[in-house]
Amino acid sequence: MPYWLAAPLWAGWIAGATAAPLGFDDALTRALHETPALAASASRIAAARQNAIPAGALPDPQLTLGLANVPVDGADRFSLDSDPMTMRIIGVMQAFPNAAKRGARASAARGRVGLAEAGMQVVRQTVLQQTAQAWIQRHSAEAQLRHIAALYDENRLFDAAVRARLAGGGGMASDVVLPREEAALIAEREDLLNARRAQAIAALRRWIGDAADWPLAGAPPKWPIDHARLAHRLEQHPELALYSQESRVLDAEIDAARAATRPDWSLGLVYQQRASQFGNMASIELGFDLPVFASTRQRPLIAARVAERAALDADYQAQLRAHTAELDADLAEYRRLDRALARQHEVLLPLAQEKVSLTLAAWRGGQGNLAELIAARRARIDAQLKAIELAGARDEMAARLHFTYAQPDDSGVQP
């Protein structure tokens, strides 16, 4: 292979030759530790947990200060010591929301913690799935590029054979062009695969940073893809699990809205200081809310929360159907790719190789023409690259199915 053709393929690999190899599980583990999206989710969980601490607590007490019965006219106006009724007041007031309201607020806060945790699982699933698919895309592209490198060597030998035959008086002068045309087509395929490899590295860099440029090691795992097993876990999909936590929050908000129809109460203690010649006094106060306009205040809020809950239930059913359809479609595509890959290896590749062997034997025996041989070789190249492409596409679909529908702790990767 000419250096100017080989350089785009190997330059990136040589640059990363001193880096540690990047295995499949290594990429997933690194993504879970380095992705900013997961750090953001962890901060949201921490915030929700902090918000849950005071959710069910009583409100802060109020300190009251004031003056009472201060004369505003006459000889003693604005005097604080002349009138026995004038008092300096200091007091404390504590509100006591009803227990149902406080319990509902605490329950809603705990639900928001669960919602933040469920949101983190959605992010985690996305990170694992897209990292896995990007790694497999790069692995597939590099496998095809290695095959391209071998094709260059084979093409060079083929070109030498054509020239030798022409030198011996066989074939036509135009035959010398055909191997070079084949080399150009191989170079075109190489450019396409180099672009796919660069795109896969870019996608991988989003999740693991500069480690995306490291050389790959190993192969993607083989996950068991079973319809019944995946369908059984469908309702545990992270996006569907969000609805369970959202419903918990809405149920608590419904309880809080209903609790608002019950009166809250407050207790106040007041110390009243009078002039030194008069005795001081103390008071106690009780206050009660009067939710007497529930039909225009509390009940509309209850109805609104109940309607939101019904909408959430309908959204859940819609999402469940969407994910069920998506799972069935992905499984159908996985089965198609699996059958196509088996057909490629068992039928099409052997036939392509057999056709090359037959046309090559005919050409060497002087009974075939070079164009037929070139066409057969091109078909074999297509079949070989197609087999690698199908294997990569099947592994990508397997990763999508596994990381979308498997349990978070069934992924084989620990955060």
CA-closest candidate to residue 28, choices 118, 140, 124: 124
372, part of any domain = yes
Give CB contacts under 8 A, 24+ apart, made by 228-233. Answer: 230/327, 230/331, 230/401, 230/405, 230/406, 231/324, 231/327, 233/405, 233/406, 233/407
369, part of any domain = yes
173-187, 228-242, 313-327, 373-387 — which one is most confidently predicted on average?
Answer: 313-327
CA-closest candidate to residue 247, choices 322, 299, 313, 304: 313
Residue 380: its pLDDT value, please?
A: 86
Tokens of 22: 């990047």
Indicate which CATH number applies to the domain containing 352.
1.20.1600.10
Q: How many folded domains does the chain comprise? A: 1
Comparing 30-39, 214-223, 275-284, the range with the smallest average pLDDT is 275-284
50, part of any domain = yes
Model pLDDT for residues 55-88, shown as the tens digit of each residue: 989 999 999 999 888 888 777 777 777 777 888 8
For residue 66, the one-letter residue type is: G
13, part of any domain = yes
Give the integer Cα–Cα distance in Å for 309 and 256: 14
83, part of any domain = yes
Residue 275: its pLDDT value, please?
A: 81
Give the integer Cα–Cα distance in Å for 210 and 219: 20
Tokens of 82: 């002349």
415, part of any domain = no
* C-beta of residue 344 within 8 angstroms of C-beta of residue 383: yes
Tokens of 123: 């992010």
Residue 254: its pLDDT value, please?
A: 94
Residue 3: its pLDDT value, please?
A: 34
Residue 23: its pLDDT value, please?
A: 94
Model pLDDT for residues 354-373, shown as the tens digit of each residue: 988 888 888 777 776 777 77
Judged on CB neighbours under 10 Å (0-12, 13-18, 19+), 144 is buried
| H/E segment holding residue 27 | helix 24-34
Residue 13: its pLDDT value, please?
A: 43
* C-beta of residue 162 within 8 angstroms of C-beta of residue 177: no
Give the integer Cα–Cα distance in Å for 353 and 392: 22
Residue 19: its pLDDT value, please?
A: 62
pTM of the model: 0.79
Residue 165: its pLDDT value, please?
A: 65
Query: pLDDT band for position 172 (50/70/90)?
Result: low
Whether residue 322 has pLDDT greater than 90: yes
Of all residues in the chain, the percent with pLDDT exceeding 70 is: 88
Domain interval for residue 338: 3-410
Could you give phi then psi for residue 270, rounded to 5 degrees? -130, 130
* C-beta of residue 128 within 8 angstroms of C-beta of residue 296: no
Give the integer Cα–Cα distance in Å for 57 and 82: 44
Pairing of strands 265-273, 62-68: unpaired
Query: pLDDT band for position 106 (50/70/90)?
Result: very high
110, part of any domain = yes
18, part of any domain = yes
Mean of the per-residue pLDDT values for the chain?
Answer: 85
Q: Work out the average pLDDT over 329-355.
A: 93
Residue 173: its pLDDT value, please?
A: 62
Comparing 138-147, 167-176, 280-289, the range with the smallest average pLDDT is 167-176
Comparing 265-279, 308-322, 332-346, the range with the smallest average pLDDT is 265-279
Query: pLDDT band for position 15 (50/70/90)?
Result: very low
CA-closest candidate to residue 10, choices 259, 197, 135, 160: 197
Whether residue 11 has pLDDT greater than 80: no
Give the integer Cα–Cα distance in Å for 360 and 218: 36
